[in-house]
Chains A and B, each alone.
Chain A
């Protein structure tokens, strides 16, 4: 299995979009080499604005461009793309529903050694709190290309969450990403694992290992957290009677909250969460995933547990 870096793919896709459309503008905050937005800047310097680490100005300025008819990509690290300019996103972008695409890289704990200040683990909670924002967490390179392109061609504010490392490619060339639609990666009958981002691969591996024990799991890649695919969650609850959510994010306010809310309203079933319960620390990304429980093993344990809770 080969890997790809979603942020590099984001940068390359931006350049393609810049070639295709003259109304695309990109703004960044002194992290453009890391987000790969600088690729766009090299090719289209007149449409690229590095505003320095001044994210509040960056977001309101993006809104000004958008209100003038531009489709704007605003890119920086997840912690600086959400918490720091949250009020600007809320007032300048979300409330007037402007065409700004926030693409955050270095989300989650896989930023590793930089420590807790750089680990964006609250961003989905913040962004899902904004009405009208589409929130997407691609699970690999091919899905990243399609998510970025879908955002560019769909009016309205988007938040696309990317990580730092290269991650395994799990989608074939035939895969078709659709905004607001969860992908059934594989079907099963005993429980459903609903995952997003890097945890989709862990979910697939967990389902494989459980199948050897005779436990059959459906795996849903819920790339769009908001608006959520209500039908897919309802079907999972009805068909399999138990759900495990898996995300590289705090338990509160992200994928687990979204899935639990839908299930509790429409078809309550036991739900377990594989997620973070608090801040992590500095360390190698793989060490952090293991210490803080974002593992295939933790998913398989959670599936066994959730099945045991079925009435």
Chain B
């Protein structure tokens, strides 16, 4: 079956330079909405910008005017605390007005503190780590059962890989030979308490995914060319799922947040926000 409906995305005309420029605006929106919300998780949102921009603008078939389009590709944010990066991408795609980003974490808002399906374009209610890969596997198996070409992309945190359920799902995905499922690990090296290597050593992480039978690659998770190439390569792999270990920096793009465990789950104050916006503007 082919996708006969004209969709708004992917936008093939976008160049890598345009993606890079847009990534700066997206980072500004992320820190601004978290500052306005007064709480939230900037570190793991900023680390995943290039991953989500690649998926939402250049890879996934989706239609913001028809969020439930039957043949869409799906993005599952398993690390649902990083919802600011998802909300900003959804707003930039046109799922809801960008002005709504200012309502994040506030009463009566559709933009909940952790991703919830009440937001247009959000596929899974999350907030308890470890569940997204299983959910994505169910979605991928359902698409296969219905003979749809829909692909499912699940973003996992590296600290999230401490959860045993991730490995239950990893085992089941290869048992069922799904090849329309891609797990992307945002390998920023920091989890809630501190560095992942100090909380629970994950290495050799790529070898673990390989041992579970996944087609596994390791890339620079801030390099659009590497991300796009790995996602395109994953489409060619048949009979097994693909894992992309994306090496990233938590808090990427803002000097005092970058690689700083303190900004896993802390909002910038007004002074910090102004400095962050100024730093980001200087990247243009």
Chain A residues proximal to chain B, CB less than 8 Å: 25, 46-47, 49, 51-52, 54, 56-70, 87-88, 90-92, 95-96
Contacts and interface: CB of A to CB of B under 8 A. Distances in A.
B145 interface: yes
A95 B135 CA distance: 14
Contacts of B138: 60-68
Contacts of A67: 117, 123-124, 135, 138-139
A57 B168 contact: yes
Nearest to A65: B138
A94 to B, nearest CB: 9
Contacts of A57: 134, 137, 165, 168-169, 172
A52 B117 CA distance: 28
How many chain B residues sit at the interface, stated as a range, is: 20 to 34
Interface of B: 116-117, 123-128, 130-132, 134-143, 145-146, 164-165, 168-169, 171-172, 176
Contact of A91 (B127, B142, B172): B127
A65 B176 CA distance: 14
Q: Is the interface of B mostly helix, strand, loop or mixed?
A: helix
Interface centre among A59, A61, A88 (most CB of B within 10 A): A61
Contact of A60 (B135, B143, B176): B135
A51 B116 CA distance: 26
Contacts of A52: 171-172
Contacts of B136: 64
Contacts of A69: 142
Contacts of A70: 142
Nearest to B118: A96
A164 B28 CA distance: 58
17 contacts: A54-B172, A60-B132, A61-B138, A61-B172, A63-B135, A64-B140, A64-B142, A65-B142, A68-B138, A68-B142, A68-B143, A69-B142, A88-B134, A88-B165, A91-B131, A92-B124, A96-B124
Nearest to B136: A64
Interface centre among B127, B138, B140 (most CB of A within 10 A): B138
Nearest to A64: B138
Contacts of B126: 91
In the A-B complex, the 6 residue pairs with the closest CB atoms = A64-B138, A60-B134, A68-B142, A57-B168, A61-B138, A64-B135
Contacts of B125: 91-92, 95-96
Contact of A25 (B128, B132, B145, B176): B145
Contacts of B116: 95-96
Nearest to A68: B142
Contacts of A47: 145
A90 to B, nearest CB: 8
